[in-house]
Chain A
Amino acid sequence: MPSPRLFERIDRVELKNLIKRYGDSIAVDDLTLDVTGGELLILIGGSGSGKTTTLRMINRLIEPEAGTVSINGTDIRTVDPVALRRNIGYVIQQIGLFPHMTVRDNIGLIPRLEGWDDAAITTRVEVLLELVDLPPEMFIDRYPRQLSGGQQQRIGLARALAMDPPLLLMDEPFGALDPILRKQLQEEFSKIKEDLGRTIVFVTHDIDEAFRLGDRIAIMHDARIIQVGKPEELILDPASDLVSKLVDADRKFRHIDNLTVRDLMRPVTRRYFFEGGMPIGPALLAMMEDDLGLVIVTDTASGTGILNRRDAFTHRNDPVTVGDVARRPLVFAPGDSATEALRVLKRKKSPFALVMDRETPAGLFFSDEVLMRLI
């Protein structure tokens, strides 16, 4: 029997005076927090700070001892937990894909239990795979063990979005990935996030991730929230030494005037270089296998170009080469001033630029990453 659609959109998720104890230790201590519709709220804290417990009380995987959680004013204890969870997306660090099911069945399981027909499920799965940048024709019949860590996490996200939930709970979704891949998935996710227009509660212990993705950040310590605010509020007006230590407020903007593009760029290795004459299909495959979001294209008619994965994805079935699809990037020299480079990026509304050491590409300069490293 299909579960009811509990809410079309989220106006407000209210956590009021939540208490949860495990034996003698207190996991969540009188926690009150408001999540506004449409925002990405980060819950950050060390292990044992209560952030995961808090998150799991929102979809009733954990029941609080005292206090209430309400969504759009409805106390969630009055709602059937299974129906509630089908209206809320859930992604965890270990992903937990079902090893005996293909990608299609993993994503389509809840729709199937909801009584959708096969054609509708396949269509939905394909839409979601496109959303997470995995070509459906390549991935739909694979089993989880045939996927890389990053690909598994994309499927985990697609599965969470299967029922188009207006609220999404994410528990360190990128925590198990290696640092470069994590950055890349964060970047993609922050783009997807804009398209989704959903309310997201996101648990992490990584302050960089919190600043990169969060609209607001709630800092947890010893089962309590010690401060909630926008990233700049936490930096400019930390509630305690603990907060300022966490956001590392002293370090910000220290040397920006002395820094060059070379100091802040991301160096590139050989695997980032693709020849202009390469057909687009194999290029996309190679980008998939290495989990690359951007590559540098050499030997095109108009010099060095940049191919991003979205473009490669869009043109994957066209008879074109990498050189045809590549775009001309902004170019800086390693010795350029970082502040000046940032100003140019902002003016041209470009998220990144290519750094060329004379004739050789030396690295990529991302505006958001530069800001991250300065804050």
Chain B
Amino acid sequence: MVAIETIALATFHHMVLAYTALLVGIGISIPLAVLSLYSRRFASVVITGANLVQAVPSLAVVAVFVPLIGIGFWPAILAIVLRALLPIIKNTWIGLSAVDPAVIDSARGIGLTDWQIVRHIRFPLAYPAMFAGIKFAAILANSLAILTAIIGSGGLGSIVFEGMASVNIAKLMAGAVPAICLAILIDATFSALERRLTPSFMRE
């Protein structure tokens, strides 16, 4: 058996790992998506880059970092962040750029600055798409945070891998079940948050 405290600590560790990576991912993606609005070339570089990272298998992303920056918490964060970028960037960018051109034209015409258009018009209209992207990235981060145990990130993944190595089903489950519960929790929380934040004009 695995002690409850060990599971709790691993779960906490897992959450710190996944959510730090998610926050860093959001922090990088949203500015990139906003900048992509202003330059078609920049947009294509960003989207191609994010697509490329997404196309590489998760395990390979994790593995590539070992020779580059070693093992431990921060390499794991970096690996997760890279995976989380694409859904956030792509959805934010699509949300921001899909605004009706007439709305943008009239906003500029009555005297909003470029930044005010992003802040007061594009962002509120992009929230639903952005949120869908962040939710997907959160689920990705949660599953990848298990995998990064093989490069020494610790957390629930360590328990899972130890359980597998020693064919100890109880131990395996002690790592896997909390991770599955977290995934469900993430989905539910983000769905609730999404409903709350959806602008009232879109609700019936």
Q: A349 to B103, alpha carbons, bound, how many Å? A: 42
**B125 (CB) vs chain A CBs: closest residue:** A100
Evaluate contact between A159 and B110: CB separation under 8 angstroms.
yes
Taking A99-B201, A100-B201, A143-B201 as contacts, is the C-beta distance between A82 and B107 under 8 angstroms?
no
Shortest distance from the beta carbon of A284 to any chain B beta carbon, whole Å: 26
Taking A99-B125, A100-B201 as contacts, is the C-beta distance between A86 and B102 under 8 angstroms?
no
Q: A94 to B108, alpha carbons, bound, how many Å? A: 14
Q: A145 to B199, alpha carbons, bound, how many Å? A: 13
Q: Does B6 make an interface contact (CB < 8 A)?
A: no
Shortest distance from the beta carbon of B40 to any chain A beta carbon, whole Å: 17
Number of interface residues of A (CB under 8 A): 31
Evaluate contact between A85 and B108: CB separation under 8 angstroms.
yes
Evaluate contact between B111 and A82: CB separation under 8 angstroms.
yes
Evaluate contact between B102 and A100: CB separation under 8 angstroms.
no
Q: Does A301 make an interface contact (CB < 8 A)?
A: no
Interface positions of B (Cβ within 8 A of A):
100, 102-113, 116, 120-121, 124-125, 199-202
Evaluate contact between B199 and A100: CB separation under 8 angstroms.
yes
Q: List 26 A-B contacts (CB under 8 A).
A: A3-B111, A59-B109, A61-B109, A83-B111, A85-B109, A85-B110, A89-B110, A94-B100, A94-B102, A95-B106, A96-B102, A96-B103, A96-B104, A96-B105, A96-B109, A97-B106, A98-B103, A98-B107, A109-B120, A110-B110, A110-B111, A110-B112, A113-B112, A143-B200, A156-B106, A162-B110
Q: A90 to B107, alpha carbons, bound, how many Å? A: 9
Shortest distance from the beta carbon of B62 to any chain A beta carbon, whole Å: 40
Evaluate contact between A82 and B124: CB separation under 8 angstroms.
no
Q: A44 to B120, alpha carbons, bound, how many Å? A: 34
Q: A84 to B108, alpha carbons, bound, how many Å? A: 11
Which of B103, B111, B120, B121: most chain A Cβ within 10 A? Answer: B111
Which of B106, B121, B125: most chain A Cβ within 10 A? Answer: B106
Q: A95 to B100, alpha carbons, bound, how many Å? A: 11
Shortest distance from the beta carbon of B63 to any chain A beta carbon, whole Å: 44
Q: Does A160 make an interface contact (CB < 8 A)?
A: yes
Q: Does A92 make an interface contact (CB < 8 A)?
A: yes
CB neighbours (8 Å) of B125 from chain A are: 99-100
Evaluate contact between B201 and A90: CB separation under 8 angstroms.
no
Which residues of A from 93 to 135 have beta carbons under 8 Å from B?
Answer: 94-101, 109-110, 113
**B121 (CB) vs chain A CBs: closest residue:** A98
Q: A144 to B100, alpha carbons, bound, how many Å? A: 14
Q: A3 to B116, alpha carbons, bound, how many Å? A: 14
Which of A100, A143, A156 sits near B124, CB closer than 8 Å? A100
Evaluate contact between B108 and A61: CB separation under 8 angstroms.
yes
CB neighbours (8 Å) of B112 from chain A are: 82, 109-110, 113
Evaluate contact between A92 and B102: CB separation under 8 angstroms.
yes
